[in-house]
Homo-oligomer: A and B are copies of this chain.
């Protein structure tokens, strides 16, 4: 068995910046039906093509009146008007309202010509076709003018914004059925290693079930991508090269897992340079050191360690930010909040940056970690700390800066407990 040593190890900051500089935000767009566009990223700024509403409408159930008729109205001496018709939401009153006339109108109804104020149903006394109005009604009372919700040209949605319920309501209110959105990036996930068996398949002695597809598909989905999962590729350089080349053609980024270190059977360091320009191999981080990347014409290839928690830890500080940029999701890749360590002790490596996966409960952070080969090391992790090389240990009760992941990977607000507000 032969091994080479890693060459120059890159810092976590350098490696992340390098990849963020190399990844191209997705440019494909698609028309997404309004009712399926929640959480998607808008690809165009949308403006109201016409005022919404397009007509003056009543904002209350009542009577549309001519304000000048009510100028002298008072509780003692109400003004009597004649109800000459009614307007429900979809109706229009055919003629102009004349002096001494009123039209019953429902909330949302189009104001009849001539009438410019509404008196509330409960405020008048009605007898037959007559109503008594007990106070003056001013023009515009209980009336939303045309364009009250959106004047023509008002911005409904900004390019790059994540679509929320109100934005989608605004789009629908202007009559649009679809929203132009950036396509969700397709993220290929390609495991390699003879020892790997896909879940559901029969086990073999010495074999292990492939689990990075499961964790990475979750991370990809969390950042708005579409995972495209490959079955484990055997340790044959040419098969791996062909598979990765195909994955690159059919996706926006390729995450290859396993065989990323410097051993004889670690194929990624041999194969990736055949597909693109090697950006780096080896990061001064624990876990996650055996990580490499290559930039091809069609997109990025990342080689991630096969150890499940190394792979997932990398996805917190390295892969997530890259996917976020690729998918054009706004906001910081994480939010720094210093909290106290709830238990145990976090120990820094003398030479490497240490990534400590953290969960947050009651405003205190707890490490979930106990070794890179165990996926249980990441159970419940919602963020991470980065301990600098040679740093002092962090003990229970001391403060540690947590880099808390964005939703849906990060902690719920309630986990911050009393450290909020």
A residues with CB within 8 A of B: 1, 3, 5, 34-39, 52-55, 57, 59, 61, 86, 88-92, 104, 106-110, 121-122, 144, 148-150, 154, 163-177, 193-197, 199-201, 203-219, 221-222, 227, 229, 235, 261, 263, 265, 306-309, 312, 315, 331-332, 335, 337-339, 368, 371-381, 404, 406-410, 412-414, 416, 419-421
Contacts and interface: CB of A to CB of B under 8 A. Distances in A.
Contacts of A37: 218
Contacts of A59: 371-373
Contact of A412 (B195, B209, B379, B407): B407
Given A1-B104, A175-B209, 18 more contacts: A3-B122, A54-B203, A59-B372, A89-B193, A89-B194, A89-B208, A108-B208, A148-B374, A165-B216, A165-B312, A166-B378, A172-B213, A172-B215, A331-B414, A335-B420, A339-B421, A416-B420, A419-B421
Nearest to A381: B166
B378 A38 contact: no
A420 B149 contact: no
Nearest to A35: B217
A211 B172 contact: yes
A166 B261 CA distance: 22
Contacts of A52: 208
Nearest to A189: B35
Contacts of A177: 199-200
A99 to B, nearest CB: 22
Contacts of A175: 197, 199-201, 203, 209
Contacts of A109: 206
Contact of A214 (B154, B171, B205): B171
B170 A375 contact: yes
Chain copies in the assembly? 2
A89 B335 contact: no
A150 B174 CA distance: 55
A364 to B, nearest CB: 12
Nearest to A202: B175
Nearest to A406: B412
Q: Which of A3, A148, A209, A306 has the most chain B CB atoms inside 10 A of its CB?
A: A209
Closest 5 CB pairs of A and B: A407-B407, A177-B200, A89-B195, A90-B195, A38-B218
Nearest to A106: B263
Contacts of A3: 61, 121-122
Contacts of A229: 35
6 contacts: A149-B376, A166-B381, A174-B199, A175-B200, A419-B420, A420-B420
B335 A169 contact: no
B106 A1 contact: yes
A96 to B, nearest CB: 16
Contacts of A381: 164, 166
Nearest to A410: B413
Contacts of A35: 213-214, 217-218, 227, 229
Nearest to A357: B166
A267 to B, nearest CB: 12
Given A108-B208, A164-B218, A165-B312, A408 B407 contact: yes
Q: Which of A34, A163, A193, A368 has the most chain B CB atoms inside 10 A of its CB?
A: A34
B414 A332 contact: yes
A55 to B, nearest CB: 7
A375 B166 contact: yes
Contacts of A38: 217-218, 221-222, 408
B169 A215 contact: yes
A26 to B, nearest CB: 20
A140 to B, nearest CB: 13
A172 B199 contact: yes
A178 to B, nearest CB: 8
